């Protein structure tokens, strides 16, 4: 039993480090969105898409997908991002993206909000959302 647990844990670990993160938007969103734009959106520097629509980003709540995304796309650790946002929150200069608890919640949010953008484990992508980039 112990071994099984260990094996499972190992699989989960190796899986999570190798997992690919997909950045998803609503299928109705036709904007071109590159890695740099995504980074700016998640740092609160870009507040609208190219076509002028307000951007409504969501994060995941400190899970492995979030860690992966922060590391690969935003280039900051969870603590560094917390420090970054605390500088903006407590000075009225910005509000961090809302945190959702898992991939499915992000898919639901993005598929029902035209201005939504989020990231999920790329293996979980469904037809209800459009992938704009993979990392």
Partner 1 sequence: MKKLPIAIALCAVCASASSYAEVRINGFASIVGGKTLDDDTTLYGYDNDISFKNESVFALQLSADLQDKLSATAQIVARGENDFDAEFEWAYLTYEFTDELQLSAGKMRVPFYRYSDFLDVGYAYRWVRPPQSVYNIPFSTYEGLSLLHSSQIGDWDSTLQVIYGGYDGTIAVVSVNGDTELNDIAGINWTLSYDWFSARAAYFVADTSIAIENDTPTGVALNELEETLRNAGFVDQADNIAIDEDDGSFLALGFSIDYNNLLFDAEYTEFEVDNSALAKQTQYYTSLGYRMDEWIVHFTYENNDDKHENSRYNALPSVPPLNQGINLVLEGSKAKSNVYTIGTRYDFHPSAALKVDFSRFKDDITDTETDVVAVAVDLVF
Residue with structure tokens 């898992």? 102
For the window 44-73, what string marks contact with partner 1 as x by the rule CB under 8 A? -x-xx-------------x-----------
Smallest gap from Cβ 84 to partner 1, in A, equals 8
Distance of CA 18 to the CA centre of its chain: 16
Q: Per DSSP, what are the bridge partners of residue 57?
A: 117
Which range in 4-12, 17-25, 87-95, 114-122 contacts partner 1 by CB under 8 A? 87-95
Task: Note whether 27 binds partner 1 by CB under 8 A.
Answer: no
Give yes or no for residue 99 binding partner 1 (CB under 8 A): no
Can you list the alpha helix ranges (DSSP code H) found in 43-127? 64-69, 78-89, 103-112
C-alpha to C-alpha distance for 65 and 102, rounded to whole angstroms: 9
Interacting residue with partner 1 among 8, 14, 17, 82 (CB under 8 A): 82
């Amino acid at each position: 039993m112990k071994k099984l647990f260990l094996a499972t844990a190992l699989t989960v670990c190796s899986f999570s480090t190798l997992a690919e993160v997909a950045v998803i938007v609503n299928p109705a969103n036709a904007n071109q969105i590159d890695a740099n734009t995504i980074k700016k959106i998640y740092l609160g520097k870009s507040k609208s898409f190219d076509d002028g629509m307000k951007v409504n980003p969501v994060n995941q709540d400190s899970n492995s997908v979030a860690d992966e995304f922060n590391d690969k796309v935003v280039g900051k650790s969870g603590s560094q991002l917390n420090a970054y946002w605390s500088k903006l929150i407590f000075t009225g200069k910005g509000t961090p993206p809302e945190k959702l608890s898992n991939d499915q919640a992000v898919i639901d949010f993005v598929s029902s909000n035209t201005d939504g953008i989020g990231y999920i484990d790329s293996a979980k992508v469904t037809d209800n959302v459009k992938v704009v980039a993979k990392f």
